[in-house]
Amino acid sequence: MSAQIVIDTLDFVSNTRTLHGKIILKDCMRLKDYLYDNQGKLKYKISGVLDKNDKSILQVIINGEIPLHCQRCLGKLTYLLNIQREILLAENENELSHLDEIETIDGILADSNLDILELIEDEIILSLPISPRHRENECSAQEFTDSNPIGEKNPFVALAKLKKHTKII
């Protein structure tokens, strides 16, 4: 298991610090339910900067590949991550509630003990597709649809025949 990395977000930004490294998917406990298996590593870089209005920002970059379940064939789908986010740090709850009203800005409450692994997991989970699938020509589920062309063996053919003969009153 990787060592826990915790930062004081406002101090991190005011000193324009940068963290970078790799995380092992085995260490991402909240992410494991989304994964086909927990093999692999991801690269990350987190930088603290001030924007043009002197607001504290965390720039988060996460790159790598993660194995997901294809929702068509339930096989392994290698999903490419290329996350680049800017997260505005709110200094209090009131400021955070104003940020929530602006859809184009991601914000979190400034924290003196922000766990970097949790932040990275949050960003990965938020970036995942709702229903990951292989492309049609790459999915093994295509074999099942090709082997049963529309015809006599298709169960919906019988329903279509019933629909034609049934009158709606």
Average pLDDT over residues 51-78: 90
Average pLDDT over residues 137-158: 57
Query: What pLDDT is recorded for position 93?
Result: 83
Q: What is the DSSP string of 23-63?
A: EEGGG-TTTGGGBS----EEEEEEEEEE-TT--EEEEEEEE
Evaluate whether residue 117 is within a structural domain. Answer: yes
Which of 50, 54, 111, 114 lies closest to 86 in space, CA to CA? Answer: 50
Query: What pLDDT is recorded for position 1?
Result: 47
CA–CA dist 15, 50 (Å, integer) = 10
Evaluate whether residue 118 is within a structural domain. Answer: yes
Residue range(s) defining the domain that contains residue 66: 6-135
Evaluate whether residue 33 is within a structural domain. Answer: yes
Evaluate whether residue 74 is within a structural domain. Answer: yes
Q: Evaluate if residue 163 carries a pLDDT over 70.
A: no
- Residue 150 pLDDT level (bands cut at 50, 70, 90): very low
What tens digit of pLDDT does each residue of 94-134 get? 878 777 667 667 888 888 999 999 999 999 999 999 988 88
Q: Evaluate if residue 40 carries a pLDDT over 80.
A: yes
Evaluate whether residue 140 is within a structural domain. Answer: no
Reading the block at residue 165, the tokens are: 């003969």
Evaluate whether residue 159 is within a structural domain. Answer: no
CB 37 within 8 A of CB 58: no
Range name among 4-18, 60-74, 139-153 with the lowest pLDDT average: 139-153
Put simply, whether the predicted model's pTM sits higher than 0.85 gets the answer no
Evaluate whether residue 54 is within a structural domain. Answer: yes
CB 109 within 8 A of CB 93: yes
Evaluate whether residue 106 is within a structural domain. Answer: yes
Q: For the chain, how many structural domains are there in total?
A: 1
CB 10 within 8 A of CB 56: yes
